[in-house]
Amino acid sequence: MKLILKNGIVYDPANGINGEKMDICIKDGKIVEKVRFAKVIDVSNKLVMPAGFDIHSHIAGGKVNVGRLLRPEDSLRRAVARRNGLRSGSGYSVPSVHIIGYDYARLGYTTVITPAMPPLLSRHTHHELNEIPMIDKAAFPLYDGNWFVMKYISEEKYEELKAYVAWLLWATKGYSVKITNPGGTEAWGWRKNVHDLDEEVPYFGVTPKEIITSLVDVCNDLNLPHSVHLHCNCLGEPGNYEITIKTLQLVRHKDFDGRQSLHVTHLQFHSYGGDSWKTFESKADEVAKEVNKNDNVMIDTGNVIFGDTTTMTADAPMEYDLYLLTGLKWVNKDVELETAPGVTPYIYSPKVLVNAIQWAVGLELALLIKPEKVILTTDSPNGGIFTNYPKVIAWLMSKKAREDMLAKVHRSTEHRTVLPSIDKEYDFYEIAMITRTNPAKSAGMPNKGHLGVGADADIAVYDINPLEFDPKDYDKLEKALSNAYLTIKGGEIIVKKGEIVKVTHGRTFWVDAMGKVDRSLIEKDLDYYFKRYYSVSLSNYVIGENELRRSERICVN
């Protein structure tokens, strides 16, 4: 299919295009220089950006499904009937499989990565991803509490560690290395947690610091497209900003020829000061200072949206602490030799000081850190469901929107945060950066997140004129961004005026680095561990490429 988008106002930070009126030509699912005999669509005075890229959103896998089972009342809040050939579905904070795809397409997003896939549950995750329509996707397998990883690190067998990391990516059809509360999830098996980078994990004797730095080096040596995707220790604890800064400093000198060495995810949950819930405060400024100084890291924000949500993370001790606070229902899982996730509902209330501060911290981080290093997420659904991204964008683009919200939250918020003193307002160029360019760049997908020649024709058009936008009029912005005027995926129009017009199924990206390692190094250990400890056999553990609906293998060399 050949298309020309005519006269749109284009923002494409990767190619330095800042609000220029121009045409975009599409042929065979790619963006091209010129095209003849194409269908012309007039998008004059409309906002044109590359389609959105969500690098951290829990959309599939064991936890998400447990969340659905745990919260039947969540399904009551939102039910979508079957119509126009679209599937039905339900769920507000944990929507069912198909409507996740539809919702993302309506927002103008076409690539989503589910960031925490327990390797043992990767078959489930991929089969669920296969069913999510509209979007391209990938999954990060978890390496945090993995016995092989900790064994090789404690025995200082670096080559074996490298081989195992590559093998697990291949076996689970994963995209990159995710670490959640390094060491903490294994310690949780002993009813403990780790609260310091140098605290030893029981039995294995390794420290979070060793786990992080070893895996950062492995990712670099294997030349994986994305770096380590790190969820730091002590999530959500008052005073955790110190360990966050220490973690960031671990990679300050790991300068891999301009390669990003660490992605720190949902930083908002890791930027708190104070020593108890009573003295809880924002330390976003300190953390932002460290991130700005550090050239090797990328962060995503993990903004909080007020309302009812279901938290789910592979950080089981943290979920248990949250359960003790709220007393609501809670599920804990232990994934054999690998990790320990937990799920519990949570309500972010503007009248609760801690929640109001969390809301402010997320915005402060986005406003204080250089836009080149920021990625917008809500850690969906942990901070709030992804359909609220336009709300966060409105807060970032309009000081008035922030002031209006500040007037509604707990009165002490302004004394515990620096948000009221920040005047910065994002423009559309920077918004395109934090929702499109940066995530695609961080994930290492060169064909995503920009509109240069050769890129995938994934484009979002919104019915708002960016040149006449007044930040005071943020409601209009929110409305326009919530329902894309056009979403184009792989050269096909999938959303028109906020309605889905075509159902497509995207590709699943995964990374094959087996060519860079020697598998025979770990063969014996794999055999032994699977026979001795795992409840599945080695041959049943590996996901075949034929199990992915549309596999997109990225071979690194």
Q: Which is nearer to another protein, 344 or 413 (CB)?
A: 344
Residue 308: enclosing H or E segment and its boundaries? strand 307-313
Of 44 and 326, which CB lies nearer to another protein in the complex structure?
Answer: 326
Nearer to another protein, 40 or 328 (CB): 328
76 binds another protein (CB under 8 A): yes
In the complex with another protein, the residue whose CB is nearer, 69 or 453, is: 69
Taking the complex as a whole, how short is the minimal distance between the CB of residue 236 and another protein, in angstroms? 21
Is 399 an interacting residue with respect to another protein (CB under 8 A)?
no
- Reported for 474-480, long-range contacts at CB under 8 A and 24+ positions apart, including other chains, are 474/394, 474/397, 474/398, 474/400, 474/401, 475/394, 477/390, 477/393, 477/394, 477/397, 477/398, 478/390, 478/391, 478/393, 478/394, 479/390, 480/47, 480/390
Shortest distance (Å) from residue 63 CB to another protein: 17
Across the strands, what pairs with 552? 509
Q: In which element (H, E) is residue 114 found?
A: strand 109-117
Residue in 301, 217, 303 with CA at minimum distance from that of residue 253: 217
**Residue at token pair 């997420």:** 377
Looking only at the bridges linking them, the beta strands covering 459-462 and 486-489 are antiparallel
Q: How many CA atoms lie within 13 A of 332 on its CB side?
A: 15
Minimum CB separation of residue 329 from another protein in Å reads: 7
Q: Residue 397 and residue 363: Cα distance in Å, rounded?
A: 11
Nearer to another protein, 69 or 536 (CB): 69
Q: How many residues bind another protein (CB under 8 A)?
A: 9
Q: Is 255 exposed, middle or buried (0-12, 13-18, 19+ CB in 10 A)?
A: exposed
DSSP state string for 169-197: HHHHT--S-EEESTTHHHHHTTT----ST
List binders of another protein among 54-73 (CB under 8 A).
70-73
Q: Does 327 bind another protein (CB under 8 A)?
A: yes
Q: Which of 34, 289, 329, 424 binds another protein (CB under 8 A)?
A: 329
- Closest CB to another protein among 76 and 555? 76
Single residue of 4, 13, 48, 74 touching another protein by CB under 8 A: 74
Binding to another protein (CB under 8 A): which residues in 111-130?
none
Residue 100: CB minimum distance to another protein, A: 20
Cα distances (angstroms) measured from residue 92 to each of 214, 356, 477, 555: 39, 22, 23, 37
d(CA 460, CA 389) in angstroms, rounded, equals 15
Task: Name the residue nearer to another protein (CB basis): 34 or 329.
Answer: 329
Q: Which stretch binds another protein (CB under 8 A): 147-155, 166-174, 325-333, 487-495?
A: 325-333
Coil/strand/helix, residue 500: strand
Give the integer Cα–Cα distance in Å for 433 and 436: 5
CB of 405 to another protein, least distance (A): 25
> Between residues 77 and 531, which has the closer beta carbon with respect to another protein?
77
Distances (CA, A) of 80 to 99, 133, 332: 8, 15, 30
Taking CB under 8 A as the rule, does residue 518 contact another protein?
no
Smallest separation, CB 76 to another protein (Å): 6
CB of 309 to another protein, least distance (A): 15
Q: Which is nearer to another protein, 175 or 346 (CB)?
A: 346
Where does this chain touch another protein (CB under 8 A) — which range of 299-307, 327-335, 443-451, 546-554? 327-335
Residue span 279-318 as binding mask against another protein, x where in contact by CB under 8 A, dash where not: ----------------------------------------
Report the site for another protein in 220-279 (rule: CB under 8 A): none
> Is 39 among the residues that bind another protein (CB under 8 A)?
no
* Contact of 464 with 108, CB cutoff 8 Å: no
**DSSP single-letter state for residue 46:** S
The least distance separating another protein from the CB of residue 71, rounded to whole angstroms, comes to: 6
Instruction: Output 40 or 347, the one with its CB closest to another protein.
Output: 347
| Cα 4–chain centre separation | 31
Residue 82 vs 472, nearer CB to another protein: 82
* DSSP H or E segment with residue 300: strand 297-300
If one asks whether residue 328 binds another protein (CB under 8 A), the answer comes out as yes
Q: Among 20, 107, 48, 5, which residue's Cα sits nearest to residue 464?
A: 48
What's the closest the beta carbon of residue 72 comes to another protein, in angstroms? 4
3-state helix, strand, coil split of the chain in percent (to 5) is 40, 25, 40
**Which region, judged by CB under 8 A, interacts with another protein, from 322-330, 381-389, 492-500, 518-526?**
322-330
Residue 373 within binding range of another protein, rule CB under 8 A: no
User: By C-beta, is 73 or 523 nearer to another protein?
Assistant: 73
Binding positions for another protein, rule: CB under 8 A: 70-74, 76, 327-329
